[in-house]
Amino acid sequence: MATRTKRPRGLDYDPELACRHLRGAEPRLDELIGRAGAFTLRPVHTQSLFAALAESIVHQQLSGSAAATILGRVVALFHPKRFPGPGDILETPPERLRGAGLSTAKTAALRDLAARTLDGTVPSISLVRRMDDDALIERLTAVRGIGRWTVEMLLMFRLGRPDVLPVGDLGVRKGYARTFRTRGLPAPEAMRRRAERWRPYRSVASWYLWRALEL
């Protein structure tokens, strides 16, 4: 009798099953997975979509340490709360947020995120669980400062979705070029066509393409 593997917390799929599928569907991925080893992506717990997206906005175009410092200063404005809610952000004068280190553009984006959370554009986590990837991308990219790539990273690293292919990600494109030995970076449409055979585990394939750059 076959034993069932335990699905890691936060993932919407079984990574062992995903790796078996990819190795059977794609010889180059079979080789890559064999070299890279076990799939270790584990989603970061997301208490609210607002908090996750607020962190993403702060981190844009900054090093991890610089973004963490600024985020810490913003959160400190609302002590003793662990993290401000959308109402807190809207009630705070923009100059106070800028004083914590946010740029004018990021302050505007954070306030738009707060407003769209309160008006329901940004759904609750419970609703997100019932939404497909494309619907969520469409809803969240209506927020100022939130692009498709940001939502794709949320889907993969916060929500544990199995079938995300971030063709606009430079690391994934470089990993693809190295794995499939293309001349230059691949076109997004060429990646999508090839990745049809990876469904429904394109998130796992993408993670391994990132790993290809470390080998």
The set of residues, in sequence order, having a beta carbon less than 8 Å from that of 24 and lying 6+ positions away, is: 30
Tell me the chain's radius of gyration from C-alpha atoms: 19
* CA 83, 87, 89, 91 torsion-angle sign: negative
Calpha distance 81→47 (Å, rounded) = 14
- Rounded-to-integer distance, Cα 76 and Cα 97, Å: 11
Q: Which of 14, 30, 133, 169 is catalytic?
A: 169
Q: What residue spans of 37-187 are helical by DSSP H? A: 49-59, 64-76, 86-91, 94-99, 104-118, 125-128, 133-140, 148-157, 170-180
Extended strands (E) in the chain = none
Helix (H, G, I), strand (E, B) or coil at 83: coil
Sign of CA dihedral 103, 105, 107, 110: negative
User: Does residue 133 carry a catalytic annotation?
Assistant: no
Q: Which residues are catalytic?
A: 169
